[in-house]
Amino acid sequence: MAVAQLLMAVGHIFIAFGWPGAMHIATILVGLGYGAHWAIVPAAASELFGLKKFGALYNFLTIANPAGSLLFSGLIASSIYDFEAEKQAHQHHHPHMSPGTSVFQGMLRMDAPKCDGSICFFLTSLIMSGLCIVAFVLTMILVHRTKIVYAHLYGKSRPAGLS
What is the C-alpha to C-alpha distance for residues 37 and 44, in angstroms, rounded to an integer? 10
pLDDT in tens, the chain (163 residues): 999 999 999 999 999 998 898 999 999 999 999 999 989 999 988 888 888 989 999 999 899 888 988 998 888 999 999 999 999 888 876 455 455 544 444 444 556 778 888 888 899 999 999 999 999 999 999 999 888 888 887 776 555 555 5
Q: What pLDDT score does 137 carry?
A: 97
Count Cα atoms within 13 angstroms, Cβ side, for 14. Answer: 17
Q: What pLDDT score does 114 carry?
A: 86
Q: What pLDDT score does 47 carry?
A: 86
What is the C-alpha to C-alpha distance for residues 28 and 149, in angstroms, rounded to an integer? 35
In sequence order, what are the residues at sequence separation of 6 or more whose Cβ sits closer than 8 angstroms to the Cβ of residue 46?
54, 57
DSSP the chain: -HHHHHHHHHHHHHHHHT-TTHHHHHHHHHHHHHHHHHHHHHHHHHHHH-STTHHHHHHHHHHHHHHHHIIIIIIIIHHHHHHHHHHHHHHTT--SS-TT--HHHHHHH-------SGGGTHHHHHHHHHHHHHHHHHHHHHHHHHHHHHHHHH-----TT--
Q: What pLDDT score does 103 carry?
A: 47
Count Cα atoms within 13 angstroms, Cβ side, for 53. Answer: 6
Q: What pLDDT score does 74 carry?
A: 87
Q: What pLDDT score does 133 carry?
A: 97
